[in-house]
Structure 1
Amino acid sequence: MTTIAFVDCETTHLDAEIGEAWEVAVILRQQRDGRTTDTEYVWQFAIDQAAADPEALRIGRYRERHVVDPSWGAAFTGPGPILPCSRASAVEAIAGMLAGAVLVGSNPGFDDRFLRKLLGSARWHYRPYDIVQLAAMKVGVEVAGPLPWSSRKLSYAVGVEPPTEDTAHTALGDARWARAVYDAVMAPQPFALTHQDRARHAIGEYARVAIELEDVRRELRLATAAIARARGLATQWAVLRAYGSAATELRAALNGPS
């Protein structure tokens, strides 16, 4: 089973080129000894407030919830006691945790941009999955309605209560919400499907297979390119060996008896 990371970032600005993440939550879903486990992690970071958008800080309740002393750099903030740590150690922990994982969240492209700024090069899967799109696929575009789709409306549509006011716009609260919607979407259909439901399911299966095929094609292109590079190097090596042999024979001829 591929590791899934339900992620959310609270940030100082909507633009990753201007702002930064001050709170990061990860719920890591892994397969261990035949069992699926979910483990929650939350970190907060000291930030430069000079470039922060006051509205972004207000929405995330930064002033009420931020606990990191500037001298720490960062802190592991839960679940459990607050553990001060350096920024570098927090970055290393998150980057290692996300390596190879598939990101799932509400608008995970937003989180992906801020995580790249915080952690550097992405080591997670290149395609994050948005619970809004997954829920829309589950209920159909007729229920989802016109764009832009409402995350709260689609959450209700798949039977998941959106976060309450005290947990919304907290990194862990929103990561838990993403997990709940994902699980609702991926759960087997508990009732007989209508013809319309069957058609919708078939379209969903087609989309899933198409995505998997795209992944296989991408991996095949990478493998083909690697083989071509290896062949090129082998050819160059053979030419160099041939030149080397010719040079050796020429030297022997020149140094031989007159």
Structure 2
Amino acid sequence: MNLPRHPILDLGRPLVFVDTETTMLEPTPSPWEIALIKHAPEQLEDRFHIMLRDPDLSDASPDSLRVNRFYERHPHWTGTAAPADVALHSSRDAAQAVEVFTAGSVLVGSNPDFDARALEWLLRQHGLRPRWHHHTINLVTWTYARLFARGEPVTIPTSSYDLSRRVHVDPPAAEDAHTAMGDALWTVRWWESLTEAQR
């Protein structure tokens, strides 16, 4: 669908809602699944959803792979075809596609700085650098401010799921949680809830 202009919020750049599923959290999150959803005024929504064909698991965290259900979802380990909406890419092709898709955008998400670190690591593995804006939009911190402004009690930190519920957005269903596209779509709904209140 064509995305209308917001009457109050002036988007000087496209917004890219982002989520990555990674093989580890620290020291460097290495992505194996990436979902990006681009919103720009008067343009059709654009989606990008890939899995890396052969992710390096040599330093992977078992906890990370358990939470994002790597072995139950990655086609090379399940022995099944990739879902219709997911492309399998080499690491190099994924890096090039991410670099182009995110150029000039602002990343939005639940802790998007983590996802930015993961994407930057991927790009720099192949001699590329990020071209998205260095300021991201973290829906967690936006929601803290919204609740505080309404005079509601705020505890920091609070679960992102609890925060999204407090602005009337259900978190992803169990089968979609900790999947890149499921979480990216959740952040779109969360953003729309926060900005709708200002119309």
TM-score by length of 1: 0.64
Q: Is the 8 A contact 1:44 1:67 kept in 2?
A: no
* Alpha-carbon separation, structure 1, partners of 2:23 and 2:90: 20
1:30 to 32, 35, 40: 40
Alpha-carbon distance in 2 for matches of 1:175, 1:144: 27
1:100-119, Cα deviation, whole Å (9 max, x unpaired): 10000111111111111001
The residue number in structure 2 matching 1:139 is 147
User: What is the CA deviation profile of residues 27-63 of structure 1, one whole-angstrom value per residue up to 9, with x for unaligned ones?
Assistant: 01123xxx24222211111212121111100000000
Instruction: Report the more deviating stretch, 83-92 or 50-59.
Output: 83-92
Q: Distance in 2 between matches of 1:6 and 1:167?
A: 16
Cross-structure match for 2:104: 100
- Tell me whether 1:66 sits opposite 2:77 in the alignment: no
Residue 6 in 1 paired to residue 14 in 2?
no
| Conserved 8 A contact 1:7-1:25 | yes
Aligned partner letter, 2:113: G
Q: 1:95 to 1:16 in 2, by over 3 A?
A: farther
Question: Which residue type is aligned with residue 126 of structure 1?
Answer: H
Identity across the alignment (%): 34
Contact 2:17 / 2:38 at 8 angstroms: preserved in 1?
yes
Alignment partner, residue 65 of structure 2: 57
Give 1 or 2: higher helix fraction. 1
Match in the other structure for 1:168: 177
Pick the aligned partner of 1:118 from 90, 105, 122. 122
Which of 174, 177, 187 is the matching residue for 1:178?
Answer: 187
CA RMSD, 1 decimal: 2.2
Deviation, structure 1 residue 146: 1.8
**Displacement after TM superposition at 1:164 (Å):** 1.1
Q: Which has the higher contact order (CA 8 A, sep 6+)?
A: 2
**Which of 39, 50, 59 lines up with 2:46 in the alignment?**
39
Equivalent residue in structure 2 for 1:130, among 138, 152, 161: 138
Q: Deviations over 1:126-145 (max 9, x none)?
A: 01111111122222265352
Provide the rounded CA distance (Å) in 2 between the counterparts of 1:82 and 1:105: 20
CA distance in 2 between partners of 1:110 and 1:104 (Å): 11
Q: Between Structure 1 and Structure 2, how many residues are aligned?
A: 179
Q: Matched residues in 2 for 1:145 and 1:53: separation?
A: 32
Contact 2:49–2:87, Cα closer than 8 Å, also in 1: no
Unaligned runs of 5+ in 1: 70-76, 191-258
* Structure 2 alignment gaps of length 5 or more: 1-10
CA distance in 1 between counterparts of 2:94 and 2:74 reads 16
The corresponding residue for 1:252 is none
Which amino acid is 2:49 matched to? V
Q: Which runs of 4+ in 1 moved over 2 A?
A: 80-87, 141-144
Q: Offset of 1:81 from its aligned partner? A: 5.3
What is the alpha-carbon distance in structure 1 between the residues aligned to residue 130 and residue 163 of structure 2? 29
